[in-house]
Amino acid sequence: MYNWLMKFFSADMAIDLGTANTLIYVKGKGIVLNEPSVVAVAENRLLGRKEVLAVGEEAKKMLGRTPGTISAVRPLRDGVIADFEVAEEMIKYFIRKVHSRNLLAAPLIIICVPSCATPVERRAIQEAADAAGARKVYIVEESTAAAVGAGLPIDKPRGSMVLDIGGGTTEISVMSLGGVVYSNAVRVAGDQIDLDIIDYVRKNKNLLIGEATAEEIKKTIGCAIAPKDKKEERSMKIKGRDLLSGVPREAVITESQVAQALSQTVAKIIDTVRQALELTPPELSADIVDYGIAMTGGGAQLRDFDTAIRQATGLPVFLADDALSCVVLGSGQMLDDLDRFKHTLQTMY
């Protein structure tokens, strides 16, 4: 009776709880929220707990700029919950925001998790959503949702391969007849790319930059392959702290330098693709030769990444339409047609 009543007060939703961004799809409305997975908290010593000051876009602006009493944190690392208490508050905040702060809201929720998440980590995500007020929680693997969102015919007797590069994890899956034939995930993705850029600038330019600057470099001139024509090569001015003098300084970084900085991470992801191809059954491999590899996720938008994988494998590689939103759009389709996709969903209890 309670569940039946709550349907009238709640908008069922699919959540892509990403390391970098959280996207929410509401049944019948589409994507209604896209905000950074960042929470600003202050330690309340009197009550002995953390107090949430800001969530999402507002909290992201505080990264690297907070005083000692406040910290801007990402409650998810490598696609799974690192700080349960803060993650619960973040999910609760997003649910209330979608429902215009309706305290009676108790939606059915589908949450995406990386395939490398352990049963304990999956249970933690489900418990966080339950504690945030969900009446029912289903879990689906990100790569499956990404394949559905990219428009791949996963329920047909045909091999479909999807490479989903998010903030914390890179997942590759081969699907056929509605099931996962092969799946693997490595905790190397967009966040590692940012760290590579920070490390390169520190070692080669004696300049210390923050995560926000590294992300800006990645989005502006980031590339997987260095440009052949140096005359048309783009560059970017960056600002940070000089490691020798300790004072702020400006420097210039080029596309070739960024490609050099990212070479190891790009190589690791390509090795993951090669390993998947080696372990794929022959008949499905033939389908992948014909139809190629679909790339989804924010990290897949790195310029020339598809070209690098194409050169390494000799297979067709294409970037899905709206790659950044494929996971939440796919889980949204599952939400709209639960009966059809019920076999791909799981619940931990």
Element (H, E) at 35: strand 30-36
pLDDT value for 218:
95
SS3 76: strand
User: Which position has the token pair 């919950």?
Assistant: 81
Residue 263 has pLDDT above 70, yes or no: yes
CATH fold, domain 190-261, is: Actin; Chain A, domain 4 (3.90.640)
Q: Please state which architecture CATH assigns to domain 148-188+265-323.
A: 2-Layer Sandwich (3.30)
Element (H, E) at 253: strand 248-254
pLDDT digits (tens, 9 = 90+) for 271-292: 999 999 999 999 999 999 999 9
DSSP 273: H
Q: Please state which architecture CATH assigns to domain 2-37+74-144+327-344.
A: 2-Layer Sandwich (3.30)
Residue 230 has pLDDT above 70, yes or no: yes
Residue scoring higher pLDDT (332 or 84): 332
**Structural domain boundaries in the chain:** 2-37+74-144+327-344, 148-188+265-323, 190-261
Burial of 180 (0-12, 13-18, 19+ CB in 10 A): middle
Task: Report the half-sphere exposure of 11 (CA within 13 A, side-chain side).
Answer: 21
Over the chain, what is the mean pLDDT? 88
In order, the DSSP letters of 106-119 are: --EEEEEE-TT--H
For residues 322-341, average pLDDT: 91
DSSP 148: H
From the centroid of its chain, how far is CA 110?
Answer: 16
Residue 8 has pLDDT above 60, yes or no: no
Alpha-carbon distance values, 344 to 6, 144, 206 (Å) = 25, 8, 49
Quick one: pLDDT band at residue 4, thresholds 50, 70, 90? very low
Residue 47 has pLDDT above 70, yes or no: no
DSSP 320: P
Domains 2-37+74-144+327-344 and 190-261 share a fold: no
The phi and psi torsions of 170 (rounded to 5 degrees) equal: -115, 125
Calculate Rg over the CA atoms of the chain.
21
pLDDT digits (tens, 9 = 90+) for 11-24: 789 999 888 889 99
Which amino acid is located at 258 in the chain?
V
For residues 122-140, average pLDDT: 87
Q: In sequence order, what are the residues at sequence separation of 6 or more whose Cβ sits closer than 8 angstroms to the Cβ of residue 213? A: 238, 239, 240
Residue scoring higher pLDDT (346 or 145): 145
For residues 211-232, average pLDDT: 90
SS3 177: coil
Task: Report the half-sphere exposure of 321 (CA within 13 A, side-chain side).
Answer: 6
| Closest C-alpha to 279, from 154, 176, 188, 181 | 181
Residue 67 has pLDDT above 50, yes or no: yes
For residues 147-155, average pLDDT: 91
